[in-house]
Structure 1
């Protein structure tokens, strides 16, 4: 029997145990409520039915509102207002119906009324089950929309990256197309003993070729192109971009994942620096320590007003911050960890991959 099957069986066993505990707690809670409000003379069949109903309601609410979220590690999920309202409605609906039953149960004498109460309790269970399922449906729909936005953001990032490379390629073709003409012109200037003019012309040609020359920061061609591009953008924004990169193999990541991680983090750093009036900087360190690959990106920032589950809330409002979720998903894929911190107007992002 493989480990996956063993873990699955263990999960099921633990889940059954937890649900059994919840059911027992529900029964004890009902007994306490009946004792507390002095509701003592209740028909045994009705009392037993109430225990079953109350315990099952307690299990349903506990499972859908707490256990399922913890079990699936859903604490970092985004919850919209509709979903929260539905879940609140389920709880209030159950409490209201049970309160009504508790108020009238001691006054019921006829068998017909007992049957109607039993039917009512059954309807409560069915309705709660339906509403809980509907709440789960709304939740899944919300998460699918978020995943769609993640994919859209990743596609846009990939498109913009290749579009930039296409523009650079077209520019290089134009320059190389005229390179023979430029060389011929320099040769003619030297033959005409116009050395100073030839040197000036050669420098101008050199400046034209600068955009085509990439500094080799890493052995990863995609990351190399991206770092050159971000450093150029940082320079245009008056940001001091410092790189400290060791010998690191990022071959375990897909090219688009490299672009997504570093592209999003550096774009966020540049945006944060733009809000700072002066002394703008971005420091990026990438190196390997034993079996760990460590990425550390820090930048100047204005004080971050709001955090949510260890991540800063985007100042741009709704539907922003998707890029950071993309980064987080890729890090989780490779069993890595990410820590975001802000102190003394300095924001830092530390990522560790355990290879």
Structure 2
């Protein structure tokens, strides 16, 4: 009997580990194994964990710790997943496996229908549940993504109802126990059933309470995150909308300036015809100067909106004594929408201007933004001088800005825009300069 129980416990732990590998495969993770010390030691620990087995109905602390550690090492070593995600995966998967197995075991124990092979029934039932879930994993994942909040609420409600039922049943059993003690009315089978139910409460209650708390915390955190993302998105869209409207508004005046600039030869002829009247000549020249003022930096990138953006930013750079160097060819990028052009280039240059404005006047201030086409990619490189300290962590930038919530909005806006075109943003920082490089695939 003990030998068969041990064999079933080993099978139970084997299914626990194998099922996790199958889930990771379904999720698209690539398994890696090398003949290195860490891989070999992890394999030895997994074999040891399987040999120790996993019991039914009860889960001792040592077993739970071995389960957590086994899944954590699989994630960390074999699948190269980061520490935080590995811990979360190990805790959630292990608890779910324990809860499913324990629930089946105690349901069979206290069921009206008498089952002779309780351990075998539990193992087969839990295996069927997990294998079915793995087979339909993609479909279940889609349901979870679409209805996760409803599932959280349904599971939380169900678990709370079970807890209420357990409490009511326990209260009724206490009354029956009083009858047994006072009236000496002992029924062996009834006592046996009551002890089984008490054991069920003892073994399943902690997991039920733990899971219901996780669900409630998950709902709370997801609500906060969703609301924060919504506010952030609204702020980004509002900013982009304002920028876009502004650039469209100045387009007409810019076109007029361009016309004056290109018609300079005609103006020269008119001046020559007025050479005998110095007063008229001076007046005419002054009028031209007023119209041409500010048209020093005329850009021809192949996109009108981008030309306007560069022109406006160049004026800001002139006012702040920043050397602004531009070399952009945008002629093959018609697929990029106007609002994304505004988002990408306005935020790139705004961030660079902000960094330059923190530099002392005795240090050179410069911004160089250039683009080129390399091996099917449109590459934009923006470099600027700086002195402020920048910390880059997990592709996020942390600077000296006091407003932690609004900080990084510009970078997030750039990432949001280039993500539409399967592009990526790379950031490089040194003591005296900051470089942001954008790669967007071009057909």
TM-score of the superposed pair, with normalisation by structure 1? 0.63
* Residue of structure 1 in register with 2:88 after alignment: 65
Which of 349, 361, 364 is the matching residue for 1:279? 364
CA drift of 1:140 comes to 2.9
1:172/1:332 CA distance change after superposition, 3 Å: closer
Equivalent residue for 1:253? 336
- Structure 2 distance, partners of 1:261, 1:240, is 20
Aligned to 2:59: 51
Mapping of residues 240-319 of structure 1, within 5 Å: 240-246=323-329, 248-277=331-360, 278-316=363-401, 317-319=403-405
> Does structure 1 residue 125 correspond to structure 2 residue 207?
yes
Structure 1 or 2, whichever has the larger Rg, is 2
State yes or no: 1:332 paired with 2:419: yes
CA distance in 2, matches of 1:17, 1:327: 28
User: CA 1:207–1:52 in structure 2 vs 1: closer, same or farther (change >3 Å)?
Assistant: farther
Note if 1:216 corresponds to 2:299.
yes
Q: Please list the CA deviations of residues 101-148 of structure 1 after superposition, one character each: whole Å capped at 9, or x if unmatched.
A: xxxxxxxxx976764343143233223332333333334334322243
Judging changes above 3 Å, is the alpha-carbon distance between structure 1 residues 165 and 139 closer, same or farther for their aligned structure 2 residues?
same
Q: Provide the rounded CA distance (Å) in 1 between the counterparts of 2:376 and 2:254.
A: 42
- Partner of 1:252: helix, strand, or coil? coil
How far apart are the structure 2 equivalents of 1:321 and 1:254? Answer: 22
Match of 2:285 in 1: 203
Contact 1:282–1:298 (Cα < 8 Å) also in 2:
yes
RMSD: 4.5
Aligned to 1:14: 25
Helix, strand or coil at the partner of 2:58 = helix
Which deviations, in whole Å up to 9, do the C-alpha atoms of 1:258-314 show, x marking residues without a partner? 101111111000000000113100000111123110000000011424222133213
Which structure's relative contact order is higher, taking Cα pairs within 8 Å and 6+ residues apart?
1
User: Residue 347 of structure 1 aligns with which residue?
Assistant: 434
Alpha-carbon distance between aligned partners in 2 of 1:62 and 1:164, rounded to the nearest angstrom: 43
How far did residue 11 of structure 1 move? Answer: 8.9
Cα deviation code 1:212-233 (max 9, x no counterpart): 8572331111111111111111
| Compared CA separation, residues 168 and 300, structure 1 to 2 (3 A) | same
Deviation at 1:50, TM superposition (A): 1.9
**Deviation string for 1:166-207 (max 9, x for gaps)?**
36758999xx9xxxxxxxxxx9xx889532x32332232223
Q: How many Å separate the matches in 1 of 2:391 and 2:275?
A: 68
Cα 1:146–1:203 change in 2 (3 A) is farther
In the alignment, structure 1 segments of 5+ residues that lack a partner are 1-9, 19-23, 35-46, 70-109, 177-186
Cα distance, 1:157–1:237 mapped onto 2, change above 3 Å: farther
Cα contact 2:396–2:408 (8 A) shared by 1: no
Q: Give the secondary-structure state (helix, strand or coil) at the position aligned to 2:59.
A: helix
